[in-house]
Each structure stands twice: as structure tokens, then as C-alpha cells.
Structure 1
Amino acid sequence: MKNMKDTPPLKPVTPDRSYLRKFIEKFKSSQNGKDKKIFIERQALLFLIGLSVLIAFLLHDFKSETSFLGSLILVMLLVVFFYRDLLRYKPAYIKKKKMKALLGILTIFTLVIARVFDHVFSVFSKGLGIEGLGLHTLGIPFALGPALVVLLFDFHTAITFSLVLSFMAGIWVKIPLIPIYVFIGSLIGAFALLRCKKRTDIINAGIYIAIANTVSSISILLIMRDVSFSKIYFSSVFSVINGLTVSAMCFLCLPAIERFFHVTTPLSFIELLDIDHPLMKQLSVEAPGTYHHSMIVGCLAEAAAEVVGVNPLLAKVASYYHDIGKIRMPEYFVENQTGCVSKHEKLNPHLSSMIIISHVKDGVELAEEYNLPEIIKDVIQQHHGTALVTYFYQKALKEMETPPSEQDYRYPGPKPQTKLAALVMLADAVEAASRTLDDPTPARISGLVDKIVKNIFIDGQLDECEITLKDLSEIKKKFEYILTGIFHRRISYPEPLKEKTL
């Protein structure tokens, strides 16, 4: 029997505290004036100038005597405003060239469609004898751009896009109140598609736009004191055509944009929630424990998503697919083990940790094979960050004479880059830990959630995303509420009394 003195001391698990050093260095650099902010980067400036020239060309009426230079200057100011707004509130879109290019293309595309419909409706107006009234401009589907932006990007970007587009419409049409008309229609379209979950929501959005356009067009006629039955009739007809055209164009354009730019809309996420998806079917059959775990993680992430500014639908879908890599070797994960003897009993700790860690790489490969959206792949890759496989690391410390390298027992990363990835990481860890509770009372659940979130934070896994302490507090409250509901107590029903036999 070995003497206690001969036993090597266990090496403690040291948390990654690099976030403190990074914070101090950033503070010092800002204090020394090294952190200089550039209003517009040179590369972005060239892009904005080129975009402004194209937009000004589309807006300018070369038959009139208006100045092209004046239009260009106004357009440049609007484009710079849009760029700065995105840089302040949605910097991720500026960093990704694909998303930045898509916004520019959507702006150009909306104006090209507007030009086409303007020509069609002007010819149509000549036949009706209402050419000089300018009513045909009410039928131009300017709201198409904001409708596509809210589906492909987010609501904030759609609102800013609507504002900029309405001013551009004013530069082009030169009717005093047309920017208000365009902005109202675009705003209603963005609101109607904010929670788009079915294809019929796009049709409903077109109807709402048509109603809003009709009301605002009649209101404009009343303001201008230019009311007659024929004008009200034709303005209403063009307003309704406008709304229905937006719906039709959305149906036509969305699949092409999704395929060409590899962008996923809420409608595509709804399709991924289908349990008949090949990956979901495979997961439920080959790794039922992981499948059930993913469903609970989805509930936790969805409940906490909205309070921290994450799309609940996206959080749920990402949670469903975050552990699909376990399909490759399901029996090596505890939630899928049915026997008393673990597969890891005959393996050394390092090999066991490599098998556990490999499910991230396998998950990314399966996501690429089944063409899952890029954002889902990112969550699969980041949902463990650079966390330590603690169980096998501690096992290695006990079994090996020389302490192993902690780095060999950590996931490769990267750490969560977005709130979404951080949320799935927290939900995954909390759900897994909650299974170890013997007596899951509300107090114990609360203590467990607090401990898990605190450990992840101290380990520095949340350093590279924009999640705040307030967000973490709200997330913990939601997790506690959902887990308390899952582990609620049930009363024990008494056995039925047996009838006495005579």
C-alpha cells in the first residue's frame, strides 16, 4: 500500500481569468488615447460611394432640369446615416461582407423594381386618362425592400431601411407627402412580418400594407384638399395593388435570395423544427437520450431568448441541432447509456475526453452534409467554447503519475461569439447538471443554476460575446422557472383497495 506522502497532489482546475487582463488592457489603451475611432473606414467609404452613385442614377430624372449632383449628395448622406446606424447597433452585418453586400443589393433591387412598376403604371394611367395626376406612384411597391430586410435581417434594420428608402422616394417622385406614404406602408409591412412563422403571414402582410396605403393615400388627398370620387377610387386601387404586389414579390424573391446568399429566414427555421427532418429522426432513433436532452435545452433557450434580445425561434432550432454530432458514437455519452457498465471503463481518460470532444467536429460535419444554416453550424462549434472536460481531467489527475496538460482536456473552441451561442451553452450545461439532482426542490434548482452560470462566466467562456450581467440574471430566472416546472412534485396515488371476498 502506497504511503500518503508518495501520492502526487491533485492539480486544481484553474479557471481562465484572461478576461480580467483583457479588460484592464482595453481600459488602459482607451485612457492613453490609443483607441481611436474612425468615422468611416477607407474600404467601406469606397463601397458607400459606389452604392450612392448607383442609387442616385436610379433616382434621377434625366428629362427634368434637376441637378444630379444634388441628388447624389443627399443620397450619400442617407447611405452614410444607414451605415453609421448599422455600425452602432448591428456591427455584425458590417463585419460580414456578404450581409453588407446583400443590404446594398436589396436597396438597388427595390429601386429597380420601383422603376419598372413606375413605367408600367404610367402606361396604365395613360390608358385610363389619369396620367397627369401622379396617382400611379401610389402603386409602386417600395415596401418590398423593408419586407425582405425584416425577413433576412431583423426589425431594427428594417425600420432604418424604411426611413432611408422613404427619403429616397421623396428625392425621386418629388411629391411632398410621398415619403410619409412610403414610410407608413414600409413600417406596417415590417411589423406584420416581425413574427413571420408561416407562408400565409406574407399574404397577411400584403393585405395590411394595402389597407394602410389606402388610408394614408386618402389622408394625403384630404390634406392637399384635392378630393374627388375618381381620385379616391384610383388611389385606393393603386394602394391595394401595391400591397398585393409586395406579397407576390416576396414569395418570388425569398427562395432565390436564400439559395444564392445562403441566408436563412424564419420560414426556413420553421421547416428545421419538423421532427421528420432526417437528422432529427436519426437523433431520436440512435441517440434518444440526446434527443430528449436537446428538446429540454430548446425549451430553456426559447424561454430565455426574448429577454436577452435573441430570436426565440432561432434559439430553439439551434438547441435542437447543437448535439447532432453524438449520432456518430451515441453509446459513449451518458444520457444514451442503458447498461450498468460505461463504455469509458476500459479507456484511458485522454481517449475518453477525445471521444467526448469529437462530437463538436462531427456535428459540424453533419451540419454541412445536410446543408444546415451557417448560424446553426456556428452554435454547434461554439456551444462548449474552450470548456474543460472536468470528469476525465480529474480522473487523469488521479490515475497518472505526472499531471496531464489541462489544454489536452479542453474543447478546441472558439468561445461563443454571439448571445445565441452563449445562451445555448448555458442551457446545455444547466440541463445536463439538473439531471444529477436527487431532490430537485426550487431552492436546489436555483442554487444549481446560479452555480453553473457562475462557473461558465468565471472560466471566461463568455468573454467574446456581447452578453451582459443583466442578461445572465434574466437567463437564470427563466431557467429556474422552466426547470421548476419540469421537476415539479407529484402526489403519490394510493393503491386501490381490494374488495373483501365473502
Structure 2
Amino acid sequence: MKDTTPLKPVTPDRSYLRKFIEKFKSSQNGKDKKKFIDMEILPFLIVLSALNAFLLYDFKSEMTFLGNFIVIFLLIVFFYRDLIRYKPAYLKKKKMKTLLVTLMLSTLIFIRIFDHIFSVFSKGLGIDGMVIHTFAIPFAIGSVLVVLLFDFHTAITFSLILSLMSGIWLKSSLMPIYVFIGCLIGAFTLIRCKRRTDIINAGIYIAIANIVSSIALLFIMEEFSFSMFYFSSLFSVISGLSVSALCFLILPLIEKVFNVTTPLSLIELLDIDHPLLKQLSVEAPGTYHHSMIVGSLAEAAAEVVGVNPLLAKVASYYHDIGKIRMPEYFVENQTGCISKHEKLKPHLSSMIIISHVKDGVELAEEYNLPETIKDVIQQHHGTALVTYFYQKALKEMETPPSEQDYRYPGPKPQTKLAALVMLADAVEAASRTLDDPTPARISGLVDKIIKNIFLDGQLDECEITLKDLSEIKRKFEFILTGIFHRRISYPEPVKEKST
């Protein structure tokens, strides 16, 4: 006789609504006002401004240093406020903040070193123009590294600050134009860097932009001549190619020291011969296939919500690597009719399922995966409930079990990337249960999964919006409809009748 005891419904945690209302009320009452500059960060900004002013100091007048310091401090404050407004995550991580400061100071050091080298070189060639040798300085190296290590927006702001500081140093109102154009071209060229040859191409484009802008500056300064044209073009080419050469030398060192992710290192992680992916494909083939589909879903939806598609794809490939430890306990890897969980208590089964997150983080650390990937592995289930085994426990146990014992430890997704992988993971897993995957049923399933995750409060701690969720849903539906498209049934070949 079958047990017809109705299952108790799992009530999603809607406490986020109360928190949201309280936060809204406090901001309306003026209690949530933010300071223009946090007093804790002010000494750091002052020291950073002083270091930048010192690197640009010509040791001729103390008043010059003071003037440099004041202007540079204002520029640094502007940069700080821009990061607070658009990229606060960088300021929350000490490593990223340190890296950004290091890039700023090292760029100025490179500028002064190359200025000295090419100043001596131009004097040896007998060049009269005092500005000509500055065309050879690889100003764009800073913005190129920033766009590869951070993002395009930060690279543009960095380029603006650098170009204005170069004008202060050279006491020229025209050189910032030359510097900013070169930096801008370098940043634009490497927005979608996917191969090492893209860095060489960036150097070539910077060289071309430098030639055009340097000639324009010579016209403006009324110093144009054929000899000036020749040397300015030569130095402009040297500047562009120097950027590529320095980038190749510095980038691997930064990746190693700061353990940060660049598009080039992400490409290497996509290699199917990577030990983790190879092990996953052999020991947990179902999970491997699942991860590939999750990667396609996340990559398709990434760009429309402001996430790096390449990073989303790589994070999806590695998000379930913890299942390598006990692959047979996960349904996608089970080949027999009898599940490993049949003889286990629901709580033990849920502990095994939940443990794949911890195992994944341990494997990521063992194989030195980037911090971003580790974060996604840890956050891609948030504090979600292992519903199947919780419902099973409700049915089997006399006293209702604690819901907390059947939830993942978290934390909830802290970034759009982690939220995107969470949604793609849940949608892909649920799509396997569809018997007749028509476009309408796929749409209904995707909508249901995203709503359940949202109502459970799993997206509370990341900056994802309702518009983002709508775009993600649309992309997921498109990809899944393509995967589950209908196929025509081919007729059996007609056998010729024997006569």
C-alpha cells in the first residue's frame, strides 16, 4: 500500500523583502548617506598622490612638487570616486586594490626610465625638438595591462588620469592628447582579447594611432618638417611595439604574483587536456556533459548582463569539479537502475550532495585555479535547499527535520557571474526532466526555476537586476530550444521484394 501522506510545502525565505523595505525607508529618511571620502582611506590617497608627484618631480622647485601633489590628489580622488560608483568590488579586495596602485606607480616609473633612454638617444641623433623623443615612451602600457587585468571602464579612467599627469610632468597642454589617444586605442583593441597575437595587434594599432596624433601635434605646434615627420613616426612605432613587448614580459609575472585571471589564462583553462577537465570527463562523464551545457548557457547570457562571456564559460566548466570525489552519488553519472542513495538516510545523502562544493574548492586550490573560479564554485548553490532529500526526510521522519541541515553552507552569490552560473546550473539540470521539450514548456520551466531562486532569496547579495533576469531567461530559452529542437523521424528503408 502506497503512502499517501501529503508532503509539507517548502516555504521560500522571503525575508529579503522586509530587509529591502527597511533599507529603502532608511535611505528615504536620510540615514543611509555616504561620505564623499571615507576618513580611513584618506591617508592612503594622500600617500599615493605624494608618490605619484615624486615620480613626476623634476627637482627644480619645491613649489612645482606642491602643485603636482595638489592636482594629482584631485585626480586620484576622482579615480577613487569612479571606482566607488562603478567598480566597488575592486576596492573591497585588498589584492586588486594593491595591483591597481602597483600598475599606476610602475607605469610612471617606466615612463621616466624610457624618457631618459630616448632623451639620450635623440640627442645622439641630433634632433632639435624637445618633444619628439617623448613620442617613443610606451605610455599605453598601463591602460593595456588594466584592460587585461580589470576591465574596459577602469582602463579608460586610468588612461584619463595618466594622460593628465603626463601633461603636468611635461608642462604641455598638447601631450595629454597624444597619450590619451594611444591608451584609448590600446584599451579598445584588447576588450575581447582571446589570443596572444591580439597583444601584438594592439601594439600595431597603437603605433598607427601614435603616428597620426604625433603628426597632428607637430602641425598644431608649427614644428612640422620632413625630418620631424620621420623621427616622430619612428618613435611612435617604437612606442607601440614597446607596449606589446612589455606586456608579454610583465603579464605572466603579474598573474603569478597576484594570482589574477586574464583572458589569456582563461583560454588555457578551457583546454580539454587540463588535468581537472580530463579527470572530470573520465570519472564523471555526466557531470562533464552537464558542465559543457551550463557553459553554453552562461556564455550566451553573459554579455547582455555585463559579465565577461569567456570568464562565465570557464567558471561553468569548473563549477562542479567537486563531484569527481564521489561521482556515482550524482544522478547524471548513475548508469544503473538502483541509486546509491537508496540505502542511505536522507540527511547523509544531503551531506554527500552538499560536500561537492567543499571538495570543489579544495580541488581548485590544489590545482591553483584563479580566485574568481573558486568563488563561483563556492557560491553557485548559495544557501539553496536540497529539496529532494528534505522532502524525503519530511516523509520518513516523525519529527520535522531542521531545514537548515538540508541547505548548502553558502555564501550566496556575491557577483553577477556567480548568480549567472547558479541560474544556468539549475535550469540545465531541470531541463533534463522535460518529457516533451516544446518551446512553450522550456519557457515555462526556465521562468519557474528563475522565480524560485529569486523568491528563495539567493540573489539578495549580488547586483543582478530584474532586467538582467529577463535577459538571462530570454537567452536560456533560445539556447535550450536549439538543444532540444524537434527532429524528423526518418522512414525505414523499404526492402525490395524478392521475385
Q: For 1:94 and 1:359, how far apart are their aligned partners in 2? A: 31
CA RMSD of aligned residues (A): 1.4
The question of whether the paired residues in 2 share the 8 Å contact of 1:297 and 1:424 is answered with: yes
Q: Does 1:117 align with 2:144?
A: no
Instruction: Give the equivalent residue in structure 1 for 2:282.
Output: 285
Q: Does 1:455 align with 2:452?
A: yes
Decide which of 33, 36, 39 is 2:33's aligned counterpart: 36
Task: Report the more deviating stretch, 24-33 or 142-151.
Answer: 24-33
Deviations 1:251-300 (A, max 9, x none): 01001111111111110000000000000000000000000000000000
Q: Does 1:142 align with 2:134?
A: no
- Give secondary structure in 2 for the equivalent of 1:237: helix
Flag the 1:70–1:336 CA change in 2: closer, same or farther, 3 A.
same
Deviations 1:404-429 (A, max 9, x none): 11111110000000000000000000
- Give secondary structure in 1 for the equivalent of 2:335: coil
Query: 1:21 Cα shift?
Result: 1.3
Instruction: Give the equivalent residue in structure 1 for 2:78.
Output: 81
The question of whether the paired residues in 2 share the 8 Å contact of 1:301 and 1:423 is answered with: yes
Deviations 1:288-338 (A, max 9, x none): 000000000000000000000000000000000000000000000000000
Query: 1:99 Cα shift?
Result: 1.0
Task: Report the more deviating stretch, 89-98 or 316-325.
Answer: 89-98
Deviations 1:385-437 (A, max 9, x none): 00000001111111111111111111000000000000000000000000000
Query: 1:31 Cα shift?
Result: 2.7
Query: 1:30 Cα shift?
Result: 1.6
Query: 1:131 Cα shift?
Result: 4.8
Q: For 2:226 and 2:3, how far apart are their aligned partners in 1? A: 104
Instruction: Tell me which amino acid in the other structure corresponds to 1:454.
Output: K
Where does 1:252-331 land on structure 2 (aligned, <5 Å)? 252-331=249-328
Instruction: Give the equivalent residue in structure 2 for 1:186.
Output: 183
Decide which of 352, 361, 375 is 1:378's aligned counterpart: 375
Q: For 1:114 and 1:90, how far apart are their aligned partners in 2? A: 27
Flag the 1:129–1:443 CA change in 2: closer, same or farther, 3 A.
same
Where does 1:462-501 land on structure 2 (aligned, <5 Å)? 462-501=459-498
Decide which of 229, 232, 236 is 1:235's aligned counterpart: 232
Where does 1:30-179 land on structure 2 (aligned, <5 Å)? 30-63=27-60, 67-179=64-176
Query: 1:134 Cα shift?
Result: 2.1
Instruction: Give the equivalent residue in structure 2 for 1:226.
Output: 223
Where does 1:14-25 land on structure 2 (aligned, <5 Å)? 14-25=11-22
Task: Report the more deviating stretch, 314-323 or 30-39.
Answer: 30-39
Q: For 2:418 and 2:345, how far apart are their aligned partners in 1? A: 31
Decide which of 339, 355, 360 is 1:358's aligned counterpart: 355
Deviations 1:56-103 (A, max 9, x none): 011121136862111110000100000000000000011112111111
Q: For 2:9 and 2:450, how far apart are their aligned partners in 1? A: 20
Decide which of 184, 193, 203 is 1:206's aligned counterpart: 203
Q: For 2:342 and 2:131, how far apart are their aligned partners in 1? A: 81
The question of whether the paired residues in 2 share the 8 Å contact of 1:146 and 1:158 is answered with: yes
Q: Does 1:347 align with 2:344?
A: yes
Query: 1:43 Cα shift?
Result: 2.3
Q: For 2:410 and 2:3, how far apart are their aligned partners in 1? A: 40
Q: Does 1:405 align with 2:431?
A: no
- Give secondary structure in 1 for the equivalent of 2:40: helix
Structure 2 spans left out of the alignment, 5+ residues: none
Q: For 2:42 and 2:391, how far apart are their aligned partners in 1? A: 53
Query: 1:24 Cα shift?
Result: 1.5
The question of whether the paired residues in 2 share the 8 Å contact of 1:122 and 1:131 is answered with: no
TM-score (normalizing by structure 1): 0.98
TM-score (normalizing by structure 2): 0.98
Structure 1 spans left out of the alignment, 5+ residues: none
Instruction: Tell me which amino acid in the other structure corresponds to 1:52.
Output: S
- Give secondary structure in 2 for the equivalent of 1:181: helix
Instruction: Give the equivalent residue in structure 2 for 1:444.
Output: 441
